[in-house]
Structure 1
Amino acid sequence: MSFWVMAASAAVMAANTPAAADEQDQVERKLDEEIVVTGRMPTFKTDVVQVGAFRNQSILDTPASVAVIPRALLDAQGATGLEDALRNTPGVTQQATSPTTSNNFVSRGVLMNARTNYRLNGALQIINLSPVPIENKQRVELLKGVSALYYGLATPSGIVNVVTKRAGGQPVTNAYINGDAEGSIGGGLDIGRKFGDAGQFGARINAYASHVETPIDGVNGHRYLVSGAFDWQATGRLSLKLDVEHYRRATDEPGGIALSAFQLLDHIPDPHHRYAPVNAPYRTWSTNVLGRADYALGDDWSIRAEAGLAQSRRQRSRADFSFTGAATVASGAGRISGNYAPDQAYRNEYVRGEIAGKVETLGITHDLLFGVARNRQVQEDQHQASYTAVAQNIDDPVAIDFGSLVFAAPKLQPGSVNIDTGVYAMDIAHVGEKLLLIGGVRRVLYDTEDSTGNYRMTAWTPTGGVVVKPTPTSSLYFTYIEGLESAGTAPAGTTNEGDVLAPVLSKQIEAGARIEVAGALASVAYFHIDRGLSYTDSSNVYVVNGRAIHQGVEASVQGSLTRQLSVALSGQYLSATQRNTGIAAQDGKRVDNTPRWSASLFVQYRPAALPALGVNAGMYYTGLRYADARNLYAMPGYTTYSLGADYKIRLPDARALTLRVNGDNITNTRYWSTGGSVFYVGLARQIRFSASMDF
């Protein structure tokens, strides 16, 4: 795509020419929205995107739907994780995991693969089996749809990109505490500096620790984070970056509700109930390391090299509730069953090399990009032991000692290695000031090694498109993209749980428009995705069979409508249907866990007479979804509401104290937060608070 090419060349050139320090600092100040000493208040509007090769590219020139949740919006909402960030994007739901343990997101009706669809700084594949912290992140981005040209194998749901905080033009020293009404309490430090004779070194250090309580009875734990983002402008041409982060989380598994039990329920259970045994563990450890070097070969050509490693370990004990029969539903009597996996280990190894430059032909400027990337995913051998079902009651749960469970002999689940190698080339032709023509292709070589044998899949995945800019503040675009995607891993509760399905081909067309209005950006896009259909069949086996057509329209307005009023408004209409399954009762039905309508609205108001005060309110709507492929069982639509306020107190010596309180699901609405093969009730009302001191 054009924006990828332009960014890969323009951003690298800007970072490595003699004027690099000034230009790079301007970009960092745009992203460093915590710093308000310049007189510019934080804003929800974003001018640049950071995902993929189009890092630092104007969002008006980006021919794809990109939802950007900047630090200002995260802070206003009191966000503590990705689930808080992505609720601002339409059509994002969760599947098969508890919101208190990990996030399994679905976008445009397509599951985001936990090992291919999450990126650190637009590059390293991080592993989202451990909840991704956002205390050290400057923004969260969601590039929606097919992204094969630059990212290779990934589901066409989208790429979630988390961008780390970095040292900017102003020093940062911030200490904060936060907590909630359930009893959680935590604190952290954020320190950023540039140093050296010419400010050529930069470092941003973040640390956070907390005790975690949840609205679910007895589900608690702790989490930790330490990270560093380091920069070195070694010469006028060479710049280096290094990111290191380590985070841990230890909480309890609350227990889910199996599809068979969900089908018999006529109500949504109490969101405070825990069905899993006491101290049933969900423990994760993750470390991510990413290095990058940019070198300017001259005025028009540059090279980039990146390499990284993501490692994650997990211990998990599943507990799924089911009824012993239809006759027991009225009494709530049933049982829990599940398994314990103490040694799940995953590793992603990443390397990329690129060369980018400009060529003039017949008055047309071509931005060229050539690159090669390799992602090696390793899943170690795992041991898993099932336990004998234990009596439980869905309406009046009893405490079950985890140590009292009777486990069968552990079974070995063999590991696997997936290697995604891609060689790609892109050309963007700048025809005058208002037209970009896009062409690109990627050669995919995908190798898999597992207990069933080895195989290789190869494919060409082309991309084409056009961007038109009628005015400097508006743009129109159209793109066509093909890509290979992993069909996913069989989810918890299925007969073939843990099996990795073979890749399938997906195709996407998208057309959209953007325009700046006052201090906000308005966007609208139509999308059509044709992909292999994966679902849990009537035999409880996760399969790929037939095709799924996901098409719809989404729109958003984000930014400042006046000096006092900021908004983040988005909505989506989605039609996701199943085709060619060979099952008459399934063809034409809606893909499970896909809402037809979804929307979010968040507004913040700062009175002109009292600008230190901010008050906010939010509304988040998810429409009716079906729980199964045949659309026999529905999850009702729901709306949750939020309220919040913050107040900044100016102190001597340029210090400032910010006090904040936020309430989510303030009406205590009961709803199903996840679909898939296992169902979890959404969290009850939460009240969070924080105090942050800038020194």
Structure 2
Amino acid sequence: MNLRVSPRRLYGKQFFNLLAKTLLGAFLCISGVETLNAKAGWANEPIIEQTDGLTSEQLEPAKADDWLAQIVQTSLQEITNVQVAETETGFELILETAGTLPEPVTSTTGNALIIEIPNAVLVLPEGEQFQQFSPSEGIALVQVSNVSGDSVEIAITGADAPPTASVSTTEVGFALSVTPGIEAASTDRESLQIVVTGEQDEGYNPSDATTATRTETPLRDIPQSIQVVPQQVIEDQGITRIGDALRNVSGVTPQRDRSNASDRFSIRGFDTSRILRNGFRTGVGLGDATGVSPNTIERVEILKGPASVLYGQVEPGGVVNYVTKRPLDVPFYNFQLRAGSFGLIEPAIDIAGPLTEDRRLTYRLNASYQDSDSFRDFVDSQTISIAPVISYDFSDQTNLTFEYEYREQNQTYDDGLPIDPIVFELPRGRFLGEPDDFFDTSVNRFNLTLDHRFNDNIRLRSGFAAELFDSSERTFRLFEFDPESNEISRFISDGGFSNNNLSWQTDLISEFNTGSIEHQLLAGFEWVQTETIDNSDGFFSGDNPLTISVIDPQYGTPRPDLNTTFSANDRINTLGFYLQDQITLLPNLKLLLGGRYDFATNESEFEELFEGEFFAESSEFSSEAFSPRLGLVYQPIEPISLYGSFSRSFIPNNVTTVDGNIIEPERGTQYEVGVRGEFDNLSVNLAAYNITKTNLTRTDPDNIDFSIPIGEVRSRGIELDVAGEPIQGWNIIGSLFFNDAAISEGDENNPEDDILINAPGSGASLWTTYEIQSGDLQGLGFGAGLFYVGDREAQIPNDFVLPSYVRGDASIFYKRDDWQFQVNFQNLFDTNYFESAQNTSLIFPGTPFTVVGRVSFQF
């Protein structure tokens, strides 16, 4: 139930109706455009020999008259199995089929050999793509996938040069004998068409990530703990808030913020509110308040430990990087509808493809609308998200990508519950604001990235990002709880807040050798400007505390005339220069060296008019710091990586004490050792770490608008992560951690050995799914998981504990042709738990038993 009817809410729904009509029109237009059924080609000249009646003549692919003609296919030859067997000279790739496959079309570019088989379709029990890394020495990757609806593409990538192959027929179908190449082939763009066969889906076990090094580095070569939550996990768990995806990662505990609108995280015991999006920092200190739709996310990468060497001002616990979906150069259409408990309704589309016949200009569009009530009384929200991406290849060497996202969220403001034992007696839906409170936000994001390769060894990447965030609110905020009367005092906040975040990054990446030693050198700079403007009116009075009973709340408190005007303007400018060298000393011994020097300035202005008394202050300060990183990876045998690393972090404090003094910059230092194992389709990472951080701040318990320093803290622990597909159809992702995050140097208000807020001493998760691979029930699957979070302190001094909890989830799904049906059960046992605490005075209850259903159609 909601007693508020706001013009902004009506506007949002009208906007979505218009948006839906516009997108439908665009879809019909795109669908009607004549499509080129292009031959697979990272291609140039073929280097392939044909035997057993197959000729070397290349057949030009036919053009379809229109989109409908692509769907109505005739006599496609089915490939039902793919096998790889290593040979003395390389490996053999066998495609099993009941009939005779048509003559293939071949081509090469760079280190890739491409073979396209027309009038064929890949029909595998496990899906529409086969992929195997390192099938033999000298071969990096082999992929077999459907393209253009009526062709199968084989892409074989050599480690140093394009391979050669001979084709023959066998009793079961089609065989390729592949030999690693010796020389790299040149490419000619006039005869080349680049075809991305679709999203690179590696299931639960991605093999590389960019967040740790800003280069595409295999996870096994990174001397620091990094985990990836891929899109398949997000979809399988039915996640509607992207922050919930991090429950699958060791050492990470999701949190809720004021108004329950944003996602924050505790990583290795440290509050992490600075989020990356495609490597660019989002609004400083806002957490996920700017909003991210799960429908736009391809994967979430979590780098544990200090990352200032590449990203400047970040917490020593780690960083979270949301990687968004990219354009495709094959047609892709996905329409889905999600509905569930508490009135959830969410239609969404995800469409992509080429806009020109040469596939140089490609696009992707994600759009969704979510309307939902809440288990919290009087609370509801409406969210619109639209995110188009356009990419253009000027040549094989140069690409320009423009990305935009608009997100609007209108919701009831909700401060949660007070920190007091009485909360264990209250219903978790108890709301202590006023039913017409609102907190409305909007964000516009722009990103422009230029990527140019001068040659195979030198690459330049430069990008500019802008994030413009605005909010407006009219709220009764909770202040101080009186356990004698069971009433909590409140104050009024009525105004707006904006945050403009601009950033420019440029990287130069060079690969070269010094003798037998290989180098991948990264040199770059980053400029970031963040401006925060807060203009609010309010009411605060000890004589009229606007109290409400937590036992029997009576709503409708009259709003008095406002007696406070508040204005604050903060501007932070940061310029950082960084250098990193990934050095291969031996094939199994890798060294990582890096350093970054940051210059930061902060300008602050503050004005307040309270009951006729005017107060104003301004401040300006600058700081600089050097943040190094050193890491070593040793691989004694192929699947095992042993690593150790040292890294530091830096954050200039932009908070003040109640006396107006600026607190010194924070510095973090970490030592970490670990072992990573990659066994076929299963990866395991075990890490141990020790972090110290100085000049840590927290909210002043006597004045929540200011902060106080608490000396030094330390965090040490052990983490275990596992992910993969042990057997075909069975996926698993799990974690276990033990952490001791406490104050090592404190004072009377911050006692030594007190545990940090929202830092559990232990936690674990296990999520698994199984999909039936054959028979009448093929496509039917089930999922189940448990998520455990240990006791957490809600305050410093440690006077109140949020109890540990175990939450159980489950799912059932069915995939049939282009359709998928899925039902998720979250908090299956209806566990009553508290998710997190904030500002030493508020806590947020967890969501009760929830059912979410989803139906999707993809083609």
TM range (shorter): 0.7 to 0.9
CA contact (8 A) 2:600 2:652 kept: no
1:649 aligns with 2:816: yes
In structure 2, give the amino acid aligned to 1:398: Q
1:432 aligns with 2:586: yes
Corresponding position of 1:64: 224
Instruction: Within 5 Å, give how 1:188-203 maps onto structure 2.
Output: 188-203=348-363
Corresponding position of 2:92: none
Q: 1:496 to 1:231 in 2, by over 3 A?
A: farther
Instruction: Within 5 Å, give how 1:85-234 maps onto structure 2.
Output: 85-95=245-255, 97-98=257-258, 100-113=260-273, 117-126=274-283, 128-168=288-328, 170-234=330-394
* Partner Cα separation in structure 2 for residue 368 and residue 390 of structure 1: 61
In structure 2, give the amino acid aligned to 1:363: S
CA contact (8 A) 1:537 1:629 kept: no
Q: 1:375 to 1:267 in 2, by over 3 A?
A: same
Q: Which protein, 1 or 2, shows the higher relative CO under an 8 Å CA cutoff with sep ≥ 6?
A: 1
CA contact (8 A) 2:749 2:796 kept: no
Corresponding position of 2:698: 535
Q: 1:85 to 1:405 in 2, by over 3 A?
A: same
Alpha-carbon shift at residue 418 of structure 1 (Å): 0.5
CA contact (8 A) 1:257 1:322 kept: no
Instruction: Within 5 Å, give how 1:10-409 maps onto structure 2.
Output: 19=109, 36-38=127-129, 43-51=203-211, 53-95=213-255, 97-98=257-258, 100-113=260-273, 117-126=274-283, 128-168=288-328, 170-258=330-418, 262-265=419-422, 267=424, 269-321=426-478, 325-329=482-486, 334-386=487-539, 388-400=544-556, 404-409=558-563
In structure 2, give the amino acid aligned to 1:467: V
CA contact (8 A) 1:301 1:357 kept: yes
What is the DSSP-based 3-state SS (H/G/I as helix, E as strand, rest coil) of the residue aligned with 1:472? coil
In structure 1, give the amino acid aligned to 2:603: E
Instruction: Within 5 Å, give how 1:655-694 maps onto structure 2.
Output: 656-677=818-839, 678-694=842-858
CA contact (8 A) 1:94 1:675 kept: no
Corresponding position of 1:522: 684
Alpha-carbon shift at residue 173 of structure 1 (Å): 0.3
* Partner Cα separation in structure 1 for residue 689 and residue 364 of structure 2: 39
What is the DSSP-based 3-state SS (H/G/I as helix, E as strand, rest coil) of the residue aligned with 1:299? coil
* Partner Cα separation in structure 2 for residue 685 and residue 659 of structure 1: 20
* Partner Cα separation in structure 2 for residue 500 and residue 618 of structure 1: 46
* Partner Cα separation in structure 1 for residue 811 and residue 659 of structure 2: 41
* Partner Cα separation in structure 2 for residue 143 and residue 499 of structure 1: 33
What is the DSSP-based 3-state SS (H/G/I as helix, E as strand, rest coil) of the residue aligned with 1:396? coil
Corresponding position of 1:620: 787
* Partner Cα separation in structure 2 for residue 611 and residue 198 of structure 1: 38
Q: 1:691 to 1:486 in 2, by over 3 A?
A: farther
What is the DSSP-based 3-state SS (H/G/I as helix, E as strand, rest coil) of the residue aligned with 2:546? strand
* Partner Cα separation in structure 2 for residue 679 and residue 437 of structure 1: 44
What is the number of residues matched between the two proteins?
A: 649
Higher alpha-carbon deviation: 186-195 or 54-63: 54-63
Corresponding position of 1:484: 650
Structure 1 or 2, whichever has the larger Rg, is: 2
Q: Which of 421, 425, 428 matches 2:575?
A: 421
In structure 2, give the amino acid aligned to 1:642: D
In structure 2, give the amino acid aligned to 1:588: D
CA contact (8 A) 1:81 1:131 kept: no
Alpha-carbon shift at residue 225 of structure 1 (Å): 0.5
* Partner Cα separation in structure 2 for residue 22 and residue 339 of structure 1: 64
* Partner Cα separation in structure 2 for residue 65 and residue 611 of structure 1: 37
Q: Which of 616, 623, 626 matches 1:457?
A: 623
What is the DSSP-based 3-state SS (H/G/I as helix, E as strand, rest coil) of the residue aligned with 2:732? strand
What is the DSSP-based 3-state SS (H/G/I as helix, E as strand, rest coil) of the residue aligned with 1:586? coil
Structure 2 gap segments, 5+ residues each: 1-41, 43-107, 116-125, 132-200, 606-617
* Partner Cα separation in structure 2 for residue 667 and residue 571 of structure 1: 21
Which digits, 9 at most, give the CA deviation of each residue in 1:174-225, with x for residues without a partner? 1111121211212011101034343222211111112121111221121000
In structure 2, give the amino acid aligned to 1:450: S
Which digits, 9 at most, give the CA deviation of each residue in 1:256-302, with x for residues without a partner? 234xxx23537253112211101211211011111111112233222
Corresponding position of 1:6: none
Alpha-carbon shift at residue 497 of structure 1 (Å): 13
* Partner Cα separation in structure 1 for residue 481 and residue 794 of structure 2: 20
Q: 1:300 to 1:268 in 2, by over 3 A?
A: farther
* Partner Cα separation in structure 1 for residue 672 and residue 740 of structure 2: 15
Structure 1 gap segments, 5+ residues each: 1-13, 26-34, 651-655
* Partner Cα separation in structure 2 for residue 327 and residue 151 of structure 1: 48
Q: 1:555 to 1:496 in 2, by over 3 A?
A: farther
Alpha-carbon shift at residue 141 of structure 1 (Å): 1.6
Which digits, 9 at most, give the CA deviation of each residue in 1:528-556, with x for residues without a partner? 11112323455455212210101111111
In structure 1, give the amino acid aligned to 2:849: R
* Partner Cα separation in structure 1 for residue 417 and residue 561 of structure 2: 21
In structure 1, give the amino acid aligned to 2:317: S
Corresponding position of 2:52: none
CA contact (8 A) 2:328 2:363 kept: no
CA contact (8 A) 2:260 2:415 kept: no
* Partner Cα separation in structure 2 for residue 673 and residue 378 of structure 1: 31
What is the DSSP-based 3-state SS (H/G/I as helix, E as strand, rest coil) of the residue aligned with 1:75? helix
* Partner Cα separation in structure 2 for residue 412 and residue 24 of structure 1: 64
Q: 1:292 to 1:663 in 2, by over 3 A?
A: same
Q: Which of 630, 634, 651 matches 2:801?
A: 634
Corresponding position of 1:469: 635
In structure 2, give the amino acid aligned to 1:687: V
* Partner Cα separation in structure 2 for residue 92 and residue 141 of structure 1: 12
* Partner Cα separation in structure 1 for residue 768 and residue 329 of structure 2: 29
Corresponding position of 1:563: 728
Alpha-carbon shift at residue 442 of structure 1 (Å): 0.9
TM norm structure 1: 0.88
CA contact (8 A) 2:794 2:836 kept: no
* Partner Cα separation in structure 1 for residue 660 and residue 857 of structure 2: 45
Q: 1:390 to 1:134 in 2, by over 3 A?
A: same
* Partner Cα separation in structure 2 for residue 594 and residue 267 of structure 1: 20
* Partner Cα separation in structure 2 for residue 22 and residue 445 of structure 1: 43
CA contact (8 A) 2:329 2:354 kept: yes
CA contact (8 A) 1:149 1:424 kept: yes
Q: Which of 669, 672, 677 matches 1:507?
A: 669
Q: 1:152 to 1:74 in 2, by over 3 A?
A: same
Alpha-carbon shift at residue 509 of structure 1 (Å): 1.4
What is the DSSP-based 3-state SS (H/G/I as helix, E as strand, rest coil) of the residue aligned with 1:60? helix
Alpha-carbon shift at residue 341 of structure 1 (Å): 4.3
Alpha-carbon shift at residue 436 of structure 1 (Å): 1.2
CA contact (8 A) 1:36 1:42 kept: no
In structure 2, give the amino acid aligned to 1:183: G
TM norm structure 2: 0.71
Q: CA RMSD in A?
A: 2.7
Which digits, 9 at most, give the CA deviation of each residue in 1:391-432, with x for residues without a partner? 42323333336xx32252342232111111101112222112
CA contact (8 A) 2:370 2:384 kept: yes
Alpha-carbon shift at residue 440 of structure 1 (Å): 1.6
Corresponding position of 2:778: 611
CA contact (8 A) 1:599 1:622 kept: yes
* Partner Cα separation in structure 2 for residue 211 and residue 297 of structure 1: 48
* Partner Cα separation in structure 2 for residue 679 and residue 44 of structure 1: 33
